[in-house]
Chains A and B, each alone.
Chain A
Amino acid sequence: MASSSLALISTSTLISQGAEAKVYKAQLTSDQSEPPILLKHRFRKGYRHPTLDSSLTRARVAGEARALLKCSRSGVNVPGVRMVDSVEGVLGIEWIDGQSVRRLLPGGVEEEDDQSEDSEPEVVDLLKEYSISVDILMRLIGQEIAKMHLADVIHGDLTTSNMILRHPSSFKPRASALPTELVLIDFGLSYHSGLVEDKAVDLYVLERAFSSTHPDSEPLFETVLDAYEQHMGKAWAVISKRLEDVRLRGRKRSMVG
């Protein structure tokens, strides 16, 4: 008898397949007016020893769910957890309507879709739909990352593809004056750490992602760091110093041999 999470997958639509998992859009109940959920299925890898594969899958699904819960308890905007089946490798999270930050910034669209030339005006239009400026978007990014780091969660794979700006139509404002919010997604590589080093590396990874996907984005990243600094308060001084070190060191050091 197949498990119930696999049965759920069989009724849902495949959206994409990454290296790790297949992503589906699913309906948890038969009530179609209910919001959909997103299913992330870490399917079995045929090349891996079965024992190794199942223990890795279990640890990764549970780890991702744990990081998401820790974030939402600490007020970081992340998708809510809807279901966890670590044995089958299925994680169900809240479906978020919106657009990835990568596609909202210049340079991100053509990389992803092979559309060329006319991506610039489109970007401006896209942001208008969310009625915020690029500057505010950058501040939101800095703020969310700071909240996450204050909770001692390290994302591990911060890129502009892993941030979604929620569409105003599906946003229920609580205290915010903005019509939208920034949501961090994909905690598949995240871990718990309070070390300054890990936080600095997390920021460095984002910096690299910015410069490789979005040309001439240095001033944008400055704004991100500025908002991060404001939110981190006293913790910023040491992280800033370490970030300079990490930049000098580079992640890709020279190898001998």
Chain B
Amino acid sequence: MPGRVRKVPLKNPDRPYLALGLEGSANKFGAGVIKHFEDGATSVLSNVRHTYITPPGEGFQPRDTALHHREWALKIIKECLVKAEVSMHDLDCICYTKGPGMGGPLQSVALVARTLSLLFDKPLVGVNHCVGHIEMGREITGAQNPIVLYVSGGNTQVIAYSRQCYRIFGETLDIAIGNCLDRFARVIDLSNDPAPGYNIEQEAKKGKRLVPLPYTTKGMDVSFSGILTSIEAYTLDKRFRSDGLPRNPNDEDIITPADLCYSLQETIYAMLVEITERAMAHIGSKEVLIVGGVGSNERLQEMMGIMAHERGGKVFATDERFCIDNGIMIAHAGLLSFRMGFETPLSKSTCTQRFRTDEVYVSWRA
């Protein structure tokens, strides 16, 4: 708002700061080291990740995912430190994901973080996963005060910053968009490697036919569960060919898996762009930032670009290194709050499955 310019409360550091970030709220374990320089610049020293991939048709169970994280944690952290060429003793703080996420995996990572903190006598910083995404997105793209569309396997939110808080303007009323994509990929037996959403995107490029699906935007909120049911029903349709091939030369009125992927993407991404546009009009913002795993989808980025162009605005998006869950975003957001004097004492270093984006006090922004 004009005439009400607040100064950014975050001062440039008096010396370079280093932070290690540990992330494991879903099926990826990530570690990263970030450096904040005296002049306010930041540098990603390393960003390593390992994904727990399940066979086609299966999702990741909390218990097995936690097991995966416990198995990989030390290997990944070691690799991350070697790549960054720093030792544990050089760090200023250890940041970990406090939530939201799956309980088991979160606990495994918090335990690793606590152990490292005690071993090397480093302060802990608990970070909200969603805020991590937003701050990393802002840092990488340079977007100043964007409307944020946060889309991933567990979250679907339209967020804008106002008065030390990331406020949620719209969100999903039931399942997250990534969850909808993942579950549909399971139905048509797509591979989970590297990600089900990525394979749907590739498959959708071959699709031609748009099948009618529900279009469920409610104000600035969306709902995906009905769409999932509806698209699952098409796989039982008499016209559905699971191999994508016509049975004979006259077999023209058919629906292929590629068509379904195409229709699903066109419908749900249009819904997302619509609610983002609504939020932009409501707040009067011209910038959009897309973060979260689904944010690496090129079709979504393209549609958002067309919308922003029509409104005279701009889209900021990152690639899979920073879109998909990673340790570096936790390190970055954690270090921001650490520089503002925030620490998580050992006795409070818990994790929580429910931790809303708007519960975080954003002390470092104007």
Contact = CB atoms under 8 A, between A and B. Distances in A.
A47 B269 CA distance: 9
Interface of A: 17-20, 45-49, 51-52, 55-56, 114, 116, 156-157, 189, 205, 251-252, 254-257
Nearest to A44: B310
A255 B270 contact: no
B307 A252 contact: no
A119 B102 CA distance: 49
Nearest to A157: B219
Nearest to A253: B173
A48 B278 contact: no
Nearest to B102: A257
Interface string B268-310: 0010011001101110000000000000000000111011011
B153 A257 contact: yes
Given A189-B219, A256-B354, A257-B102, A47 B307 contact: yes
A56 B1 CA distance: 35
Contacts of B3: 114, 116
A254 B307 contact: no
B2 A46 contact: no
Nearest to A257: B154
A51 B179 contact: no
A157 B302 CA distance: 29
A48 B270 contact: yes
Contact of B176 (A19, A20, A189, A257): A257
Contact of A255 (B100, B278, B281): B100
A18 B281 contact: yes
B210 A156 contact: no
A56 B214 CA distance: 10
Nearest to B170: A252
Contact of A45 (B101, B179, B278, B307): B307
B279 to A, nearest CB: 8
Contacts of B1: 114
Contact of A52 (B215, B219, B304): B215
Nearest 8 A-B pairs (CB), nearest first? A257-B154, A19-B281, A47-B303, A47-B306, A19-B278, A254-B354, A46-B306, A49-B266
Nearest to B169: A252
B176 A47 contact: no
B26 interface: yes
Contacts of B273: 47-48
B199 interface: no
A189 B306 CA distance: 24
B155 A255 contact: yes
Interface of B: 1-3, 25-26, 100-102, 153-155, 157, 168, 171-172, 176, 179, 210, 212, 215, 218-219, 221, 266-267, 270, 273-274, 277-278, 280-282, 302-304, 306-307, 309-310, 353-354, 356
Nearest to A191: B218
Contacts of A46: 306-307, 309-310
B281 A252 contact: no
A257 B25 CA distance: 8
Contacts of B307: 45-47
B210 A257 contact: no
Nearest to B217: A189
Contacts of B179: 257
Contacts of B356: 252, 254-255
A98 B225 CA distance: 42
A52 B267 contact: yes
Nearest to A53: B270
26 contacts: A19-B277, A45-B310, A46-B306, A46-B307, A46-B310, A47-B270, A47-B273, A47-B303, A47-B304, A48-B303, A51-B210, A52-B210, A52-B267, A56-B215, A114-B1, A114-B3, A205-B219, A254-B354, A254-B356, A255-B100, A256-B100, A256-B154, A256-B354, A257-B100, A257-B102, A257-B153
A160 B306 CA distance: 31
A46 B311 CA distance: 11
A52 B307 CA distance: 16
A255 B277 contact: no
B270 A52 contact: yes
A18 B154 CA distance: 30
A255 B170 CA distance: 13
A45 B215 CA distance: 15
A133 B166 CA distance: 37
Contacts of B306: 46-47
